[in-house]
Amino acid sequence: MSDGTQAGQTAAAVRTPVGRPLLSLALTSMMDAVGAHSGAVYLRPGEEPVLQMAVTAGLPRAFSAPWERVGLNAPIPVAEAVRERRLVWVGGEEDMARRYPRIAVVLPYPFALAALPVATESRVYGAVYVTWPGSHPPELSEREREELTAGCERLAARLERAAAENLTLRVESDLMDAWSIGGTADTLGTVEAARMVTRLPYGLCSLDLSGRVGFANTAAADLLGVPVRRLLGAQLWAAVPWLNDPSYEERYRAALIGQAPVSFVALRPPSDWLSFRLYPSTTGISVRITRARNVSEPKPSPARPGDAPTRLVSMSQALSLAGALTETVTVQDVVGLVADEIAPTVGSQALALLGARAGRLHVLGQHGYPDPHVVERYDGMPLSAASPGAHAVAHVVPSFFASRRQLERLYPAERSAPDGFAAWAYLPLIASGRPVGACVLAYARPREFSTHERAVLASMAGLIAQALDRALLYDVKHQLAHGLQAALLPHSLPRLPGVQAAARYLPATRGMEIGGDFYDLVPSRPLAAAVIGDVQGHNVTAAGLMGQLRTAVRAYTTVGQEPAEVMRSTNRLLIDLGSDLFASCLYLRLDPAHGRAVMARAGHPPPLLRRADGQVRVLDLAGGPLLGIDASAAYPTTEVELSPGCVLALYTDGLIESPGVDIEDAVAELGRRLGEGGDRPLEELADDLVGPYAAAEQRIDDVALLLLRAGDSDS
């Protein structure tokens, strides 16, 4: 907890430590009140937008390693509880997979979780989460909700009081089982009990919550092939070489988190299969070991020399990060993820992502720098420059600087552009064997980078590189798609005598965000024409065919063909092109001087007509089939009203089709909004009609809208 004092002050000189383990007592009190078997308290350090795990209970901290330090924007329950200042409940394995898939990837076990903010009306101090085994009911009871809420309120009040009294919190140890390692009699309670267990024909051993062996009988030692003295006090998978495999360690985690028995078989070289049955409780795990029969499973990957017992922590972090990065789409998504989740996890206060193209660096994004111009100096910098960022990309070698003095000794030019930070990691981003850029992590204080930390940062850089490479490709395709779409649609609508016009186009948000919807106004003489259509599909083929149809309609109109003949000619052209795609189309020959228009329709949604008195009518008139189906198809025409003040709304089906919504209801709703806003300026009316679709994050289809109002055109 921070009271906002400057980093340069000596905290010990002005603050007195709290005399008892406040966080541990509060956490265990809440867990006991609701029967939870694990939990943790997070605190917010000062005004940083992060949560730092302060104390855990019931499970090893390694299980939560990917979330030991998280950004407030991270999509995890404790961060969400703080952001929204409410209790977040996750009712089980399926609920977790649906709402928080990245946690489910790392912890795919049946358990329930509740997260709550620790906050007063004026300040958020942190958050608490507690978990139950998967046997917990899918809903949190009212009593449990009240107990947890009251516990967090009491903790927040105590933290507020400690801040007011200028007290700091002592560093508290995690609450794990403090089982001492001793002889069998001490472990089991009586000598006779120890003798009884020793006589059993199968192996028995006891593990604490960290996986350390507290007892093992003779049969267990014989089956494992390791003396009891080497087992005691060691993690089982570390003491037994052929059990040093993440798949076996994962079974131990599954038993502890799910609080349910778990079984697995393992091969003791060269050919003996053993069966392990794990019986968990809130204090540890009892393991029964027997010989397995008729086993034909593949041999697990052998343990490698130097494998550390903490290997699962790195694997969990990698799984969590990989899951997060698969959700990124654009370069800015990658920048945001690294800033909100990865940088806080590794303790970095600022970052910059640099791309490499044509022998130069380009700034893709930055976060946390007080002066953005410090990062912008990299933009356009040649890779041959004497700069740590350029060196990391050009030589594909990470660089770590524990202090400014160390940085300036190797790169004297850095003295001229101080960024306000004291330690840096320059990580090359390599994808498909080539450098795509660099990630710069900056730290507020000097920092020695250990061998393990350098390896973790290098691994993270590899994952970031893959996501960045994919995002760069997406951004290029995105720009190409929008450029193609813009080239195929009218850049502006021509002014027509006696008619005002406004148009809108929204691409689908799936695929390449390019489609076959089109519209056009053709200022031909003596009468102008309007057209709207929709080619099947949302890809380059559909867009290309759309451009051909729009050009054809404009050409047939310019040479003076009547509406019915324009549709027949366009239909034959589409069939002659040999395309497998169909298209709908609505064509209008405009005659505002006589207050009318002539309409031909080919399978297109009917237009809406709003009269000057505000009444709206659906012009569901006769028409022909979709273009591209029948070469002999006819397209009858109908005369429609276009008197002064009338508004015609031509649209594609993307404006009225939504999952679970009836088409007729959607058309009626569109007509209602047209009737209510039809007197507004046409541009405002167009924005209003497409507004709900423009704001939607997901659009399954393109949306095109063309509005025509009879009367004097805008000046």
Hey, where are the domains in the chain?
22-165, 194-293, 326-480, 489-710
- What is the reported pLDDT for 293? 66
d(CA 160, CA 1) in angstroms, rounded, equals: 10
Residue-wise pLDDT for 125-143, tens only, equals 999 999 999 889 999 999 9
Element housing 197 (H / E) = helix 191-199
Q: In the numeric block, which tokens belong to residue 440?
A: 């710069």
Q: How confident is the model at residue 301 (pLDDT cuts 50, 70, 90)?
A: very low
Q: 20-29, 73-82, 173-182: which range is least confident on average?
A: 173-182
When pLDDT is averaged across residues 671-687 and rounded to a whole number, the result is: 90
- Asked if the model's pLDDT at residue 368 lies above 80, the reply is yes
Angle at 164 between CA 163 and CA 170, to 5 degrees: 30
When pLDDT is averaged across residues 561-568 and rounded to a whole number, the result is: 93
- What is the reported pLDDT for 485? 63
Q: 149-153, 236-240, 325-329, 701-705: which range is least confident on average?
A: 325-329
Q: How confident is the model at residue 609 (pLDDT cuts 50, 70, 90)?
A: very high
- Asked if the model's pLDDT at residue 496 lies above 90, the reply is no
d(CA 361, CA 352) in angstroms, rounded, equals: 12
| Angle separating helix axes 451-488 and 311-325, nearest 10 degrees | 10
Q: How confident is the model at residue 178 (pLDDT cuts 50, 70, 90)?
A: very low
Bond preceding residue 526 cis, omega within 30 of 0: yes
- What is the reported pLDDT for 378? 87
- What is the reported pLDDT for 282? 83
Q: In the numeric block, which tokens belong to residue 284?
A: 């540890």
Q: Which residue has better confidence, 523 or 315?
A: 523
- What is the reported pLDDT for 116? 96
CA 475 to chain CA mean position, Å: 17
- What is the reported pLDDT for 423? 93
Cβ neighbours, 10 Å, residue 600: 28
What amino acid is encoded at 207 in this protein?
Answer: L
When pLDDT is averaged across residues 257-265 and rounded to a whole number, the result is: 87
Q: What are the phi and psi torsion angles at 50 (to 5°)?
A: -140, 165
- What is the reported pLDDT for 297? 44
Q: Which residue has better confidence, 329 or 556?
A: 556
Residue 231's nearest CA partner among 248, 243, 246, 214 is: 214
- What is the reported pLDDT for 179? 37
Q: Which residue has better confidence, 535 or 115?
A: 115
Query: How confident is the prediction for the chain on average, in pLDDT?
Result: 82
- What is the reported pLDDT for 484? 67
d(CA 420, CA 220) in angstroms, rounded, equals: 58
Residue 503's nearest CA partner among 692, 714, 690 is: 690
Give the number of C-alpha atoms closer than 13 A to the C-alpha of residue 279, restricted to the C-beta side.
7
- Asked if the model's pLDDT at residue 355 lies above 70, the reply is yes
Q: How confident is the model at residue 497 (pLDDT cuts 50, 70, 90)?
A: confident
| Angle separating helix axes 246-258 and 311-325, nearest 10 degrees | 80
